[in-house]
Structure formats: C-alpha cells, structure tokens
Structure 1
Amino acid sequence: MKRISVSVAALAIVALAVAWYLRRGDAQTTSYRTEQVTRGDLLFTIRATGTVQPEEVINVGAQVAGQILYFGKDANGKTVDYGSPVEAETVLAKIDDSIYSAEEAQAQAQVQSAHAAVQRAEADLEQLKAKLNQAERDWQRAQKLGPSEALAQSTYDAYRSAYETALASVAVGRAAILQAKASLAQAEAVLRRAQRNLGYCTIKSPVKGVIIDRRVNIGQTVVASLNAPSLFLIAKDLKRMQVWVAVNEADIGKIRPGLPVTFTIDAFPGETFRGEVGKVRLNASMTQNVVTYTVEIVTDNSNGRLLPYLTANVQFELDRRANALMVPNAVLRWRPSPEQVLPEAREAFERSAGRKEKPGGVSGSPSGSGAGSAATGNRAVLWIQEGNFVKPIRVQQGLSDGNHTEVQGEGLTEGMRIVAGVQTRSNSNQDVATNPFTPKFPPRAGSAKQK
C-alpha cells in the first residue's frame, strides 16, 4: 500500500512538471510598439494628376490645297522644324501655287476686259447723246413747220419718232455703263480672291513663338475642306506654362483662384515646382459616371525646364499648420484590449467604448488614405505605456495630411512615445509583431504544439 502511494505521488509530481513545462512553453510577454510625437509643418492638400500645357497655343493651318514645296527659315537661319523659334510673319512653308497663279492671271485679264467694257459703254453713250442732239433739232424744226404743204404728215411723225428713240437710246447707254461697271467690280472681286488664294500658298507664322509640332513633310499634299488641315502648332510663350488638372466634383468646391499649388514632374525627381490656380473651367466632363472639372494652374517657366505635355503630380495647398505637434495616423487607429488598459482607467475605458468596437480594431481616426483631412476639433485618445499597461491621453485632432495628424492635449509633449501596436515575445526569443486587422483562429482540437 505504501509502495502504491509513493507511485501515485511520483506520477503527480511528473504531471505537475509536465504541466509547468507546457505552460512555460506557451508563456509570452507583451511589449508595445511605439511612435514618437513630433513637431513640424503640416499641410492639407488635394492630390490630382494633370498635364503641362503652353499658356497659349496657335494651330497654323492651310486654307488652300496643294503640295508642300519647301519649309522656311527660323530665327536662327535653320529650316523650320520641331522646336524652331520663329518671329511673326516668318515663312513656315510654301505650297505649290501654279494653279493659283494661273487663276490670278485669268482674273487680271477679266479685270482689264471689264475696264475696256466700261470705256466702250461710255463711248457708246457719247455717240447716243450726239444722235439725240441731232434728233432733237430736227424735231424742233418740224414743230415750227407743222404738218403743211411744206412738210408732209408722215415726215413730221418720223422726226418725232426719231427724237423719242434717241432719247431712249441715251437711257440704254447709261444703263450699259452701269452694267459694265458692275462687271468690273465683279472681276476685281474675283481678282482679289485669286490673289488671296495665291497668298495662302505661303504659310506664315501669325505670332512670335516656338514650334512645338510640325505635322507635314515636304512633298506631302494638303487638302483644304470644311476644316483647315493643321500644319504647325506654335506655342506663343513657353516662359509661362499651365497645368491642366482634372479635379473630382467632390473636391472642386475647395478650389478657388489664387490657391497655392505645388507639383512634381517624373522627369525631374526630387524637384518641386510652384504655381497658383488661375481658373476653374465650368464645362465639366463625365467619364464612367465620374464628374470632373478642369482646373488651370499658372506657373513660371523662366528657366525653360518644363516641357509641354509632361505629366504633373499636383497638390492643392488648402491649409497649413506651422510648428504643430503631430503623430502618425497609426497611433490614432490603435485600440487596446481591456486587459491591456491600466486598472485605474479600465472601467472608464469599457464604459466609453460601449463595446461598439472589437479590441484591436479601428477607432474611427483618420484613415491615412493620403488624401488628407481638413476636419478639426475631433476628439481622440492616445495611449502611452505605463509598466505592462497602457494609459489614455485625450487629445483634439487637427489638420491631417493622410500620414500625420495634428494633435493637442494636456500633458502631450514633443518626443513622447505613443503606443501604435503590440509586439509579442515568446520564450524562444522570437519577436512576433501582431496586426490588429489579422483574424485570430482558435487552436484545433488535438493539435500538438511544435517545439
């Protein structure tokens, strides 16, 4: 009996030892991952993407059809090409004018013929006037004699008819002159049109600027129809550029003329350009049920680094805080479990939480989407470590740029460490960082613990 009691006691000791070992293997100590309260400038922006555009672009086209014979010379004496600087009235290209020269010569001949017709009509009128004078004198003599034995009735009637005919002929002559002058005016109009078409064969620059696009080649035939074919695209002043940005309708109410803007260009990494909002266009566009408005940003390009049609990553500076206390948004999202809260504050924590959120969940703080937030005055809770527990500090949220948020609160100082998450350390000395959004599953029944 004594031997059995000793055996039972030994088995109990072994069981306790095994249980202690297993508990020791499962034992973990909890440590907190913290972030530091910093002080700096905070900027609330709206981000969008746009395209660099010349401030004023002139599309030079052709108003006549024909073959391109040659290109002109730019301000440097070189053949007009991409990037060529040109002055106003510089010849850009020449279109074959053989047909239009012939039409102009034909119109010149028609004008000369019309001039001759006017002169002939005037000469005919003078001749008719002379016949009228002769008929008028004959008629006056016939009236003095009257129908008598000296002047037969038929002769009397003939003088009268001749006078009336001469009078009507003069009126016809005057009308012929008017008709000849009208034909002359028509011929001159045709001549002016022919000369204008002949002049259109010489393509000239309407302004001083830089050619940013040449759309024809020598030997190519351009055909003018309802829409004039585009030959050259000229930027009037590349020292003043614009950025055209498509802004979502949800953000357009925050954009106003004069708003400061910063933007970056992928072609110049690490360099930031500045500008301001010039205007907001009212002709909105809809793409896949998304309404956007085009915002024009004016920027200086005196150094000529900005090239037309570069892609710009734009930030509209809606608000700014200088020398503000701020924390990463991650510390505003983290919430402890009740067991991690300092015992003195645990009851108030559970009561304020109301069990609306799960431990380790999101507390409704800024999302960190990168778009920023202009909302200020929202209350939030930060957690600082005190021993193995965390203690709350109540703060007021201010401006947010999507990564950091301005905070103000009693006892909050620069350099203070704020809890942002939990790190678990097992006896195997292996750190495991826990993500509050990772789902936790219960252990499977009968599963063996791996050593």
Structure 2
Amino acid sequence: MPDIRQVLGASTHSLLNRDHRKLVVAAVLLILVITVSAVWYIKRSGGSELFKTAEITRGDLTIVVTATGTLEPVNQVDVGVELSGLVRTVEVDVNDIVKKGQVLARLDTERLTARVVETRAAYDAAKAKLEEAKTTLVEYEKKYERLKGLAEKQLYSQQDFDTARATYERAIAAVSSAKAQVRAARATLTANQTDLSKAVIVSPINGIVLNRNVEPGQTVAASFQTPVLFTLAEDLTQMELHVDVDEADVGKVKAEQPARFTVDAYPDRDFEARIIKVNYAPKVQEDVVTYEALLGVQNDDLVLRPGMTATAEIVTRVIKDALLVPNGALRFTPPKPETKQKTSGVRSLLPGPRRRTVEQKPVNGDKKAVRKQTIWTLRDEQPVAVSITTGATDGRVTEITSGNIESGMVVLVDVIKTKKK
C-alpha cells in the first residue's frame, strides 16, 4: 500500500504543473492581445504622404568651370640698385603715381663724382699724349723720307738711314699706343659716368608704387644680388587673374572664353573677365594636378587690387532654349506602397521575405554625355515614371534631349510625410 506522503506529494506536484501551464498560456495571450492592439494602433495612427513638385522649364543652360586664383598687375617691375652706397634721398612713397624716368631715390654721389673727375683728367691727358705722338710721328716721317732719297743717291750712309727708319717706326708705334691709352681712359670715364648715373634711381615705367623697401640714410650693398628698393605696377586699369584649373576641367577651358569672378572685398559684385591663355606646364601640389589659366580683367574704377583672392566661373558652353529639369527630380524615387493584405497581428510581426529594391547608379564622367534616366510625375494622384534622355548639367538643372516631356510639366522632387490628426 503506498505511503500517504507519496500520494500527497505527487498530487501537489501535478497541481503546481497545471497552475504553471495556465500562467504561461495566460501570459502569452496577454502579450498577443497587447501586440495586436499596438499594431492596430500604429497602422491606424499612420500618416499620409505629400509630394514636393517642380516644373519643367525652357531656357538657356550655361556650363561653367569654377577655379580660384589671385589678381596680379599686367606688368610688375622690381626696381633695384646696382651700386653699394648710402641712400641720400627717397622721393616717392607707396601708392604714388610715377612717370617713366621720374626720380625715385638718390644715392650719395661724392665718391662717384670724384672718380668721374679723376678719370676725365686721365682721359684728357691720354688725348694730349696722342696729339704729341702724332706730331712726333710727322717729324720723323719727314726726316725718314728725306734720308731715304739721299741714301738712294748714295749721299747718305746706310747706317744712318737705318737709324732714321727705326726711329720713324717707333713713332708709328707710339701713336698706336697713345690711341689705345685714349680708348682705355675713355672706357674708364664712361664706366664711372654710368655708375654716377646709376646713383639716381628712376622709374622704368609709367605706373604706381606698390612697395617701398628703402629709407633715407640706409646703406645698400649690391654684392651677389641686386637689392630691390621699389616694386612698381604698370597701369592697374588692366589686370590679370591667375587661376588654377583642375586637370579634369582643363580640356574644356580655351582662350577667349568669357568668365565672371568675385572677390571677398565685394561679395555682391560680379566682375567680367576673358581667358587669355592656358599654360601647358602642370602645377603639382600634394598629388593634385592643376593648370594655370590667365584671364584679362578691366579695372577702370581701380577697386581691384593686386593680390586679391578671386573665385572665377569660366563659361565653357551655353545651350540656348533648352528643356530643363531640376536635378532633384533626377534623384527622386517614390516610396513603395504598403502591402494591403489581411494578416494576423502575430503574422505581421514575423520576418518575411526581403523586398527587392532597384538602386539608381550614379552617373559619372563628362557632363556633356547623353544618358537615359527616369523622372516621376503625378497622374490620378499617383507617381508615374517617365523615361528621358539627358545631356549637359550645371549642377542645378539638366538638359532634356528627348522624352515625352514638355515645358510646364510637373515633376516630383521630394516626399513629405505628415501625421494624421
């Protein structure tokens, strides 16, 4: 006969298992009810979608290449000094307008003047010696000719005649030597006169003083390198803009193309320019290759200054009367509609098969390249795809070269989700 304690223990364990199963089932049912209610609430409280639209337009499309650079004078001259010495006076200052030949500064000329006086005296002495040598030559020439006639008649000894001939030849050599001394003295005088003239620094051009690097009383030393005393710019009404064009864009930039640029000093003003030339020599900095382009700039009101940083837009192509679509429409893809089917709350939470999406690959390469793309319009309040062929773009709008599109047609560029009240 079984022990009463064993019977009671077995009964108690059975009751506990049944109570545990009831609690688990109740908990699962409660979770399902809460989940279904939450899903229903989420679906009921879902929002609607509004589409942001734009219109297809017709107009001119301007393609530009952007580059940055600095403004420089057409002709900039560094004025230096070839002599060493003390600066006596400085007669111009920064921003002064100067004329060609105008005195800019003067060096002390005391020693240079003394040298000129000394060499001029030496030159005069050399010329006097030359005249003396010429006179002597004439005298010995006459004596030589007279003795020559007597010697031929044997009225004069041959020895005396040879002595007269040697004296005559020495007189000829003395004249040649005196001429050489005159040339040397004249060269020395000319060199000293040139040095004296270089002590007066004059402007080589008509222009404006950009920099002054000298003061009165300063000593300049012209040894291995000429000291630069002034920097002059010629006619700032004509300037040049030097910009660096990226190697990807240099093939589109050509001489005579128009351009416009801005400077930080006048951010609300556009200045006109035109390409003069594009250099073939590359500029490489940190593995970035650029090519320098030179633009001509008219600066009649003198508001532009050398060294200003400018951002230029070079017009490389203009398409007249083009059909244009905003670039936002080319990037837009409408959201996929939710699947409307009856499922249980649990089924809607279970992971299903992954939806396949079509990725729109970005288009790289030449902006002039023709390519197939898709835009979206509204028909019966639903997005409808329209295939088009596009051409050039300026980064904001793109040319439509073909497709069932006309000016004024509304296209989708974005979607805005709003919550139901």
Q: How would you bin the TM-score normalised by the shorter chain?
A: 0.7 to 0.9
Residues 399-414 of structure 1 mapped to structure 2, 5 A cutoff? 399-407=392-400, 409-414=403-408
Question: What amino acid sits opposite 1:20 in the alignment?
Answer: S
Q: Partner of 2:102 in structure 1? A: 90
Distance 1:45 1:241 in 2: 22
Q: 1:126, 1:112 → 2: CA distance?
A: 21
Q: Distance in 2 between matches of 1:18 and 1:38?
A: 47
Contact 1:334 1:362 in 2 (8 A): no
Q: How does 1:19-418 map to 2 (within 5 A)?
A: 19-25=36-42, 27-37=45-55, 39=57, 40-72=59-91, 80-129=92-141, 132=144, 143-144=154-155, 159-336=157-334, 338-339=336-337, 359=357, 361-365=359-363, 374-386=367-379, 389-407=382-400, 409-414=403-408, 416-418=410-412
In structure 2, C-alpha distance between the alignment counterparts of 1:33 and 1:102, rounded to whole Å: 93
Matching residue's letter, 1:247: V
Q: What SS does structure 2 have at the residue aligned with 1:123?
A: helix
* 1:197–1:426 distance in 2 versus 1, CA, 3 Å: same
In 2 relative to 1, CA 415–264 (structure 1 residues): closer, same or farther, beyond 3 Å? Answer: farther
Distance 1:130 1:399 in 2: 99
User: Which ranges in structure 1 are unaligned for 5 or more consecutive residues?
Assistant: 1-7, 73-79, 145-155, 342-356, 368-372, 430-451
TM-score (norm 2): 0.80
Retained in 1: the 8 A contact 2:52–2:416?
A: no
Distance 2:407 2:141 in 1: 115
Question: Does the 8 Å contact 2:56/2:325 carry over to 1?
Answer: yes
For the residues of structure 2 that align with 1:121 and 1:404, how far apart are their CA atoms? Answer: 94
Distance between the aligned counterparts of 2:405 and 2:290, measured in 1? 45
Q: Deviations over 1:286-329 (max 9, x none)?
A: 22233322111112111222111111101110112345443332
Counterpart CA distance in 2 for 1:253 and 1:365 is: 20
* 8 Å Cα contact 2:378-2:410 kept in structure 1: no
* Partner residue, 2:12: none
Q: d(CA) in 1 for partners of 2:404 and 2:382? A: 20
| Identical counterparts, % of pairs | 27
Distance 1:67 1:54 in 2: 31
Residue matched to 2:8: none
How large is the RMSD of aligned CA atoms in angstroms?
A: 3.2
8 Å contact kept, 1:282–1:293: yes
Cα distance in 2 for partners of 1:358, 1:253 equals 41
TM-score (normalizing by structure 1):
0.75
SS in 2 for 1:54: strand
